[in-house]
């Protein structure tokens, strides 16, 4: 029997303080009415429909704030127990993790000549 075990480093987001540790947490989701509209347009014009999933998406965002966190129990080095992690990227548990991912995604997709829809920030249009 082959068992695979996984572990994740997770921030204690409940200890984050507004303004000090984060400012913005809002991340948009597609409007419910956008999906049937997009499907109708795709059928009418015989467009291909693509869907994607980004595994570990929240780990791809960059944090704008200075965030430090304690080492997790069981992963400290003897004599270095007081050292902390300085986060460069977002990790699970951060209040701003979803926003960081969304901001990064917007920057990447913009580089491929997509722009946001004026009415739904989760719908993009190829412009070139």
pLDDT tens, residue order, the chain (128 aa)? 778 888 888 999 999 999 888 888 989 999 999 999 999 999 999 998 888 889 999 999 999 999 999 988 888 888 998 999 999 999 999 999 999 999 999 999 999 999 999 999 999 988 88
> Which pLDDT value is given to residue 3?
85
Is 63 inside any structural domain?
A: yes
Is 62 inside any structural domain?
A: yes
> Which pLDDT value is given to residue 19?
86
> Which pLDDT value is given to residue 75?
85
Expressed as residue numbers, the domain containing 103 is 23-126
Is 91 inside any structural domain?
A: yes
Taking the CB of residue 15, how many other CB atoms lie within 10 A of it?
Answer: 11
**Cβ–Cβ under 8 Å, residues 16 and 65:** no
Number of residues that this document lists for the chain: 128
| CA–CA separation, 58 and 100 (whole Å) | 7
Structural domain total, the chain: 1
> Which pLDDT value is given to residue 45?
96
Is 14 inside any structural domain?
A: no
Within the chain, how many helices (H) and strands (E) appear?
Answer: 2, 4
Q: Which residues of 41-55 are buried (b: 16+ CB within 10 A; e: fewer)?
A: eeeeeeeeeeeeeee
Taking the CB of residue 18, how many other CB atoms lie within 10 A of it?
Answer: 9
């Amino acid at each position: 029997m082959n068992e695979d075990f996984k572990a994740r480093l997770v921030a204690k987001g409940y200890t984050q303080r507004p303004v000090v540790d984060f400012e913005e947490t809002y991340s948009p989701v597609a409007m419910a009415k956008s999906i049937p509209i997009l499907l109708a347009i795709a059928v009418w014009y015989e467009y291909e429909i693509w869907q994607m999933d980004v595994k570990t998406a929240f780990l791809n965002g960059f944090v704008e704030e200075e965030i430090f966190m304690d080492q997790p129990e069981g992963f400290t080095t003897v004599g270095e127990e007081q050292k902390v992690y300085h986060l460069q990227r977002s990790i699970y548990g951060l209040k701003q993790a979803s926003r960081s991912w969304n901001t990064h995604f917007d920057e990447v997709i913009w580089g491929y000549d997509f722009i946001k829809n004026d009415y739904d920030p989760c719908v993009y249009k190829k412009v070139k």
